[in-house]
A and B are shown apart, each in its own frame.
Chain A
Amino acid sequence: MSSVIVCHACDLAHRLDRIAAVARIRCVRCRAELYRTSSASIDTAIALAASALILFILANAYPLVALKVNGATRVATLTGAVLGLYEQGYGPMAVLVVITAVLVPLVQILTFLYVLVAVRLHRPVPAQGALFRVLAALRPWAMAEVFILAALVAMVKLAAEADVAPRVSLGAYGLLMLTLTALNAITPTEQLWQWFERSRE
């Protein structure tokens, strides 16, 4: 049986006779990725999502960077960075930082965990369409990897004049970035839907 896949990026129709279990298909005209499934198991995805949650809690509970001045130590936390912006009258910027560095990754992790565990237990996922749309819409706004590099930039800027040192949260945030990248890489759109469909069997 052959099926037709229309390219979401250039509208070209492709007729495919047989699609392998693990496949990556690109549009012949615009090279957009039409279809991708991964060889990773759902258990790997759950393990990554659970690790991401633990790392997220560590990243938010502990200080990011410490600054030593005249024998006194001052630490910056993620919450401190947001509050600092707010207190100086830059509310919209504080909101943007909270959303991209804290809320989006958190909602992403929790949605992934809920959906993946439900699928794993062969439970039907209520509102799976809506949850999928949440995951897809949040993807471009999750900026853990940008944030971690920004923390390094801030440290380098200060290093010339002060004594700065990384703290627990920086490491946790770095690992969180790697975990989330891996989780996103093994859960392409088509793979998620195959898992959804299998859970209903």
Chain B
Amino acid sequence: MTALVTGCSLGLLVCTRCRATVRAIGAESSRCPRCGSPLHARRPRSLATTAALLITAALLYIPANLLPVMHTHTFFSDQDDTIMSGVISLAHQGSWPIALLVFFASIVVPLLKLVALGEILLAVSRKSLRYAQQRSRLFRLVEFVGRWSMLDVFAVSILVALVQVQSLAVVEVRPGALAFAAVVVLTMLAAQSFDERLLWDAKTGD
């Protein structure tokens, strides 16, 4: 292959769902002949949708980390736990592998998603020519690890169901958990609405 030829320049569209390559027939509202998904040269309003979802997620990230996610009431004490204090108490307990797992899933992954998607959106809007390869790798990493931040939401739900021994120990959900769950869902939707091809468009110049 000598020059880089894109689908756009050949009048070919690719279905982002089933990956069939299809000849473009002019009409904007065409559907994939194989699976029936809508076909677009580039997903319409991809940048704006991703940006809106990402900004909402970034705002909710603040209460998600500052507000308690869980409240433990025992005979001896009452304790509020945030995402971070949950990780710290696991580390104090000496369960290092589990503490690291939760730290990674609940602290590193959400932050990585917000920063990486933000950087990618800025690069695309600046029509940056460099690092398309690195950014596409970063984007795929974000897509791949995104779901793991649901870990704490599930853990809190199980604790709530299990620890309901009246007068001895009761675990309750707190608003931080709701904000955190919203951050996970919104960042996943943000990644899904981003059209990866935008990263390469500046390079091929069409």
**Residues of A in contact with B (beta carbons under 8 Å apart):** 3-15, 28-32, 34-35, 64-65, 67, 69-70, 72, 74-77, 80-85, 88, 90, 92-94, 96-97, 100-101, 129-130, 132-133, 136, 140-141, 143, 146-147, 149-154, 156-162, 164, 189-190, 193
Cβ 8 A contact of A153, one of B132, B140, B151, B172? B151
Cβ contact within 8 Å between B16 and A8: yes
**Which applies to chain B's interface (DSSP): helix, strand, loop or mixed?**
helix
Q: How far is the CA of A51 from the CA of B90 in the complex (A)?
A: 35
B30 within 8 A of A: no
Check A81/B157 contact, CB under 8 A, given A8-B16, A10-B136, A149-B151: yes
User: Is A146 touching B173 in the complex (CB atoms < 8 A)?
Assistant: no
Show the binding face of B for A, using Cβ within 8 Å.
1, 4-10, 12-21, 32, 34-37, 86, 89-90, 93, 95, 98, 101-102, 105, 132-133, 136-137, 140, 143, 146-148, 150-155, 157-165, 168-169, 172-173, 177-178, 181, 185, 188, 192, 196-197, 199-201, 204
- Interface pair B173/A8, CB less than 8 Å apart: no
Residues of B within 8 A of A97 (CB): 153-154, 157
**B20: chain A residues within 8 A (beta carbon):** 193
Q: How far is it, in angstroms, between the C-alpha of A40 and the C-alpha of B155 when the chains are bound?
A: 35
> A72 CA to B16 CA in the complex, in Å?
54
Q: Is the CB–CB distance between A154 and B162 below 8 Å?
A: yes
User: Bound complex: CA of A133 vs CA of B20, how far in Å?
Assistant: 13
Q: How far is the CA of A147 from the CA of B162 in the complex (A)?
A: 15
CB proximity of B148 to chain A, nearest CB, Å = 6
